[in-house]
Amino acid sequence: MRRPLDLRHIISPSLRDLIELANTHDFDRVTEQVRNLHGCTSPVNLHGWTVSTDPTTKEVVRSYRSEDEPSGRLLTTCGNRRASRCPACSRVYAADTYHLIKAGLSGGKNVAETVRAHPRAFVTLTAPSFGPVHNRPTTDAGKPRPCACGQTHAEDAPNRPNPSRPCPSSSTYGR
């Protein structure tokens, strides 16, 4: 029988946790979880359970409980796309995106190779607007010009348009 380690002399709580983890009965599983992170700097700690059953027989096909893990949780990658948050996960996302676009242009990954002969276009779509933008144009002399809605708004008018809202006199509102 294994005696518990006496780690009271180790000042750093992080180092103490690592030593305890390295001395667990299933350290190979801990190592596997860390390896599966592939360098993720912000892993997600999952805690819970799942049961998969056969829909016809209702027999349990697979079950999982995070409590059965050596650390009591399952570590998984954060999957963040931004390199400033997690360089490793953003590289995986970039590589996946590259292969998806490449397959869409030249075939592969369940896309027919005949797509190579199809015309290609890179289209950027913009969400619908909420009306004209009030940019307060002025002449070279500094006098106000009419707004995009066609009116000149006084600076001190109570119904002066708010740049974050469409102009109330605009007929394009809601289009």
| DSSP structure string for 47-84 | --EEEEE-TTT--EEEEEEGGGSTTSSEEE------TT
**pLDDT digit string (tens) for 38-82?**
999 999 999 999 999 999 999 999 999 999 988 888 999 999 999
**CB 33 within 8 Å of CB 44:** no
Query: Whole-angstrom Cα distance, residue 64 to residue 51?
Result: 7
Per-residue pLDDT, 156:
45
pLDDT confidence bin for 108, thresholds 50/70/90 = confident
**pTM for this model (two decimals):** 0.48
Most distant CA pair in the chain, distance: 91
Per-residue pLDDT tens digits for 121-149: 878 888 777 665 666 667 888 777 777 66
Confidence band (pLDDT; 50, 70, 90) for 88?
very high
Reported as a single tens digit per residue, the pLDDT across 5-18 is: 777 787 788 787 77
- What's the rounded mean pLDDT across residues 16-43? 85
Mean of per-residue pLDDT scores for the chain:
79
User: According to the model, what pLDDT value does residue 77 have?
Assistant: 94
Instruction: Assess whether pLDDT exceeds 60 at residue 173.
Output: no
Give, in order, the Cα–Cα distances in Å from 155 to each of 52, 144, 149: 65, 10, 16
Distance CA 57, CA 139 (A): 78
Q: What pLDDT score does 171 carry?
A: 44
